[in-house]
Amino acid sequence: MVGTGRAGSKSMLARVTVVRPHHSTSTSTSTSTSSTFREEDFEVVYDRIVRPENGKKISDYRTKYSGITKEIIRDGLPGVPVVDFSTARSEVGAMIAGKRIVGHAVFNDFEALRLVHPSNLTRDTALYPPFMDSQGKKDGRRMRQRKLKYLVEEELGGALIQTGSGGHSSAEDASAALALYLKHKIPWESRFTEGESTFTQGVQPKELSNSITLYLDGSNLGGVGLKKAEPASAVSVSYSLVYNATVESGDPRHKAFSSVDWVPSLQSLTNGNVSPKIPEIVVFWDGAGLKHVVKGQKKRREAEVQQLGPAVRLHITPESVEADDTIVKMVASETKNVNFNTDPRNRIVVDVDTMLRTLTSDTPSASFFIIRRKAGGTKTHKKIFTKINLRRPREGAHILIPITPRLHAQCVATARRLKHEKLNHLVEISAVDLKYVKSIVATDDVLLADRIVAEGGVVLNCSQLLNLL
């Protein structure tokens, strides 16, 4: 990273390096248990110097740490070409999609690249609990991250890194983080198979026995947007799907937003090795609310379908058809034979305590829970009802479905909050067997949520969708 802005206070990408175990050692069992570190055991598969985006001025090259100089940004290095930011982001995004990524404080790297990567495919050596310092509570945190150089010296046979006077070597740092992961791979991965990650601790969520389709109501998901991927031709417009993520602005009084390409993250959900099994994702968009820029046509008279990724499809409705209606029809066609609403016995009424006990039991929950607001409550309840998008009685539905570790943790947190607020008399909760889950719709539209649940579908809001990734 280099610095931009006043006194170089804002970080900006300057170099991207991706490594992997060298082919000759990648299949060796000793690689995953080695207590030493040799950089030659790893090979660089991608290395680029990145020009400042939009001609931004670099105010601090941070050469002592970054190894970057004005000359390197201008001319590159032997074997390391200079590319623009958009090229680096698209190339790295395509390279890491659906793959397990290891790094030290890798969340900073994703932020710099403006990429979102699924948490279940991210291994961060800065956040791995056994590597963290539990002494004290600096900055209000229970555990503190430790520097990579100290972890390497401690864990990898006293190896020394970051000793050169010309700044850190990005390849050395990446290789060191990967070596740490490989040494601890077995216990680290067991945390995921046991349902524990950096974010959650608990039992493994129950896997769905069937595959499901994920539908995104793109027009009604906070932070999600369409961006023209290229200039409009005479007959069509190509789009990319972006998510406006909050990033560090350098000023605590203001939030800054950065548009990140969301397709690689969504595409990773369709990897057959992850649960739940999602073979296809369809993003619906209201044509009436999307400015039509094709020359010679004032209205979008027909639906437009574009393939955003191998298993991610964009469906833009004609101006005369609402995306909500199309989504409801799709869900209804999938649930017509297995709709949990066809028989009242399929939905068991439970209270908050029962729901919480089920979610925190040692046995993975075989149910998901539909929460509806049946009464008004007081002003003290406004915050929790706003959080779960139940702002008015008898309007909308919030579903707790513990099918991934992060979703499970979010379900438990919500159930505990409902118990703490003593909301039993204000909500009605139904437990439904997971076998009825055929499709999931992501939307923040409460009216659409009502319609989807009425058709036997499952709804997630944007916050829950992020925890599905």
DSSP string, 414-446: HHHHHHHTT-GGGEEEEEEEGGG--EEEE---H
Residue 262: the pLDDT is 80
**C-alpha to C-alpha distances, 329 to 74, 219, 326, 458, nearest whole angstrom:** 55, 17, 5, 14
Q: Phi/psi at 325 (nearest 5 deg)?
A: -65, -40
DSSP category for residue 17: E
Average pLDDT over residues 244-256: 47
Give tens-digit pLDDT for 277-295.
899 999 999 888 776 545 5
Give tens-digit pLDDT for 41-90.
889 999 999 998 878 889 998 888 888 889 999 999 999 999 999 899 88
Average pLDDT over residues 426-455: 93
Higher per-residue confidence, 336 vs 356: 356
- Identify the CATH class of 2-193: alpha beta
Least confident of 12-26, 38-52, 379-393: 12-26
As a whole number, the mean pLDDT across the chain is 81
Residue 141: the pLDDT is 46
Judge whether residue 27 has pLDDT over 50. Answer: no
Judge whether residue 207 has pLDDT over 80. Answer: no
Residue 296: the pLDDT is 55
Q: Where are the beta strands (DSSP E) in 338-404?
A: 347-350, 367-373, 398-400
Average pLDDT over residues 203-209: 64
Percentage, residues of the chain above pLDDT 90: 35
Reference 53, options 118, 135, 112; nearest CA is 112
Residue 291: the pLDDT is 64
Residue 165: the pLDDT is 57
- Domain boundary assignment for the chain: 2-193, 213-335, 344-437+450-457
Judge whether residue 414 has pLDDT over 70. Answer: yes
Average pLDDT over residues 390-403: 92
